[in-house]
Amino acid sequence: MALLEVEEINKYFPGVQALRNVSLGVEAGEVHALVGENGAGKSTLVKIISGAYRPDSGRIIFDGVTFDEFSPAYATAHGISVVHQRQQLVPWLSVEENILLGKQPRRLGVVVDMRARRRLARELLAQMHLEINPATPVAQLSPVEQQEVVIAKALYQKARLLILDEPTAALGPAQIERLFELIRELCSQGVSVLYISHHLEEIFQLAQSLTVLRDGVVVTTRPVQELTQGEVVDMMAGHHVTVARDVPEDALTPAAGRPLEEAASLLELRGLSAGPVLREIDLSVPAGQVVGVTGIVGAGGHDLALTLFGLMEPFAGECRLRGKAYTPRGPQQAIEQGIFLVPENPGRDGLVGLMSVAQNMTIVDLPAITRAGILQLKEEARVARSYVSSLHIATPTIEREVRALSGGNQQKVLLAKALQAKAQVLILEEPTQGVDVNAKEEIHRIIRELAAGGKAVLVISTDIRDLLQFTDRMLVLRKGRIVADIPTIEGNYTKILNLTLGTEDVSWSQEKA
């Protein structure tokens, strides 16, 4: 009998069967890895196990107890703890206060017993073989130490199953090793870990067993030693495609297929390095091209967008726009020089929900509709109507508050904004995330039309399949570096997935063998 038994779990969300008959077991003292693409159902499953969602059917049995209630408090009380990053800590409180928060030892039931608290924290940290001063404010700790404190907090609450979701995202190699040591130590003490990660090499280093989810279904669940990284990638992707043979080898060199001489490049990066991950980026984007940039979360796509929009300062390399040096110091300058960023979450970061469709479109360039210091509202309405009809935005009037529109239509309002800003280079982050199929196709079409109209478009997305449908070229980022710059070919999916995960060598050698 395993410590955690997940039995035949089903979960349906409007429009999608998120989980279908999902079963798996986590033994006491083991690290069980959960892998799958974005949208495969990993986070839904975690939310059910940790009590945030109620399943439509199926059972969760933990240490012989069948859960009859689904709430985070219930799951925690039974010993299941999700370790998120940082957000569970109060930065200005000390390590010991954070660990014992909510369950402080008390004297006479009222006053916090400081001495007992220090002692308990010391004992716990010693048991974990950690050398952290319990009196240090958490804000002064390194990322890995903070994560250790979160784990200590979970253990203090008698957690016996820790759920770690991408725990190494913010950590360097030495820190990752340190975290792994702690995990192994805890496992030897009988604690189990459900480990969710995109980094297969980490999983093969750490986990004893592994479950692959795809489209809400368990593809396999078995011991890691029976599997190779290549097999896992194939199971995540769903079909075995030997792309390496479809694409000529020379197509894998940067920007091949479309020589640079063919079109003058609008945007050119040479050896650009910025932020904690982005390193030595060489990239040139000619007018009329749609370039997809993909990679797992944290691979540097978002940082690339921030750098190009003047929100992150590069510390090495150069950036040229229409042949001239381009060093924006903020969005205002970036927009003035012809670059526009469509952020990932339009409702939150891109649009002003309380303002009308028309007002959202023109806010990016008010001088264009201003004469003698006065806004020309008729001119504004004319501009807005033309975008509503050319981009097929479904809204009853241009006066409608933009928050009342669907996600797809909000995305189109943002594209109208980019047009109104007269941007020549568009950077779109996850443009089709959370929009329905029809809207997706329309957004693809609009992006293609923008490119056909002479704009350069950079689409940054983790959704490889989506990118393959409308880009000319795919750029793969891993750990902040470009690992491939290849023409878009439909069948490239598995190849690109391998490149993002860093498993390409394994997969290729197996295919050749």
Q: Does 349 bind other proteins (CB under 8 A)?
A: yes
Q: Which of 187, 206, 351, 474 binds other proteins (CB under 8 A)?
A: 351
Closer Cβ to other proteins, 112 or 437, answer by number: 437
- Of 18-26, 190-198, 338-346, 477-485, the segment contacting other proteins by CB under 8 A is 338-346
Q: Does 348 bind other proteins (CB under 8 A)?
A: yes
Strand stretches in 158-200, DSSP E: 161-165, 192-196
Q: Does 370 bind other proteins (CB under 8 A)?
A: yes
| Cβ pair 460, 430 in contact under 8 A | yes
Q: Does 394 bind other proteins (CB under 8 A)?
A: yes
Q: Does 58 bind other proteins (CB under 8 A)?
A: no
Strand stretches in 287-403, DSSP E: 290-294, 314-321, 324-325, 339-342, 370-371, 374-375
Task: Give the distance, in angstroms, between the CA of residue 305 and the centroid of all CA atoms in the same chain.
Answer: 14
> Scanning the structure block, which residue is given the tokens 């030897």?
188
Closer Cβ to other proteins, 81 or 409, answer by number: 409
What's the length of the chain?
Answer: 513
β-strand partners of 10: 57
Q: Does 377 bind other proteins (CB under 8 A)?
A: yes
Q: Which of 114, 404, 437, 452 binds other proteins (CB under 8 A)?
A: 404
* First vs last C-alpha separation in the chain: 39
Q: Does 14 bind other proteins (CB under 8 A)?
A: no
- Per-residue b or e along 81-95, where b marks 16 or more CB atoms closer than 10 Å to that residue's CB: bbbebeebbeeeebb
Positions 436 through 465 that interact with other proteins (CB under 8 A)? 438
- Of 151-159, 182-190, 398-406, 462-470, the segment contacting other proteins by CB under 8 A is 398-406
Helix 173-188 to helix 143-156 angle (10° resolution) is 20
User: 77 Cβ partners below 8 Å, 6+ apart?
Assistant: none
Residue 458 CB, shortest distance to other proteins, in Å, is 16
Q: Does 379 bind other proteins (CB under 8 A)?
A: no
CB-CB neighbours of 69 under 10 Å: 11
Q: Does 421 bind other proteins (CB under 8 A)?
A: yes
Grouping H, G, I as helix, E, B as strand and the rest as coil, residue 280 is strand
Closer Cβ to other proteins, 264 or 354, answer by number: 354
| Cβ pair 295, 419 in contact under 8 A | no
Q: Number of residues in contact with other proteins, rule: CB under 8 A?
A: 44
Closer Cβ to other proteins, 158 or 382, answer by number: 382
Structure tokens at 508: 């290729």
β-strand partners of 24: 6
Residue 352 CB, shortest distance to other proteins, in Å, is 4
Q: Which of 239, 261, 367, 389 binds other proteins (CB under 8 A)?
A: 367
Q: Which residues make up the interface to other proteins (CB under 8 A)? A: 309, 331-332, 334-336, 341, 343, 346-355, 359, 363-367, 370, 373-375, 377, 394-396, 400, 402-407, 409-410, 417, 421, 438
